[in-house]
Structure 1
Amino acid sequence: MKTPGSETVLWSLPQDEITGAEIRRFSMAESDFTVFFRDGSWARLTSSPSGARDIVALLDRSPLGAGSDLMAPQA
């Protein structure tokens, strides 16, 4: 059992540094998602399917989808 307040923050940043999020197409359970950051970096994360959808809905503030060009072939 966890003691309230015993969780350690490993990393944090201002929310305006997050440019969006999306569920990954290859994720059959729709539980894998990517978070995109202002500096062009990104992180792939996994949650439950409903958790992933909730997180992406909260973070994806980009009208075109922040990572829509991340997996596109490079010219």
Structure 2
Amino acid sequence: MFGVVPKSMWQKLNPADENNMCSWALRSLLIEDGDRLILVDTGMGDKQVAKFFGHYYLHGDDSLDRSLAKNGFSRDDIT
């Protein structure tokens, strides 16, 4: 995750597990501003090949659509 930065520099703040993987959170930000609904998406999507996802542990089964629906919105509501 840190590219060429040596592990000794980041492991204290972001300890790796036995597979040398770190836990990360990718959360989107939904902003309601008057009649506008703005989405800042920090996710990684689901269009990558299986090898890409072999570098990550995906936690849960939430998706952008499910998260929007929990808040009473759909992707068509994003302005």
> Under a length normalisation based on structure 2, what TM-score does the superposition of the two structures give?
0.29
Quick check: which one's strand share is greater? 1
> Under a length normalisation based on structure 1, what TM-score does the superposition of the two structures give?
0.29
Structure with higher RCO (Cα < 8 A, 6+ apart): 1
Quick check: which one's helix share is greater? 2
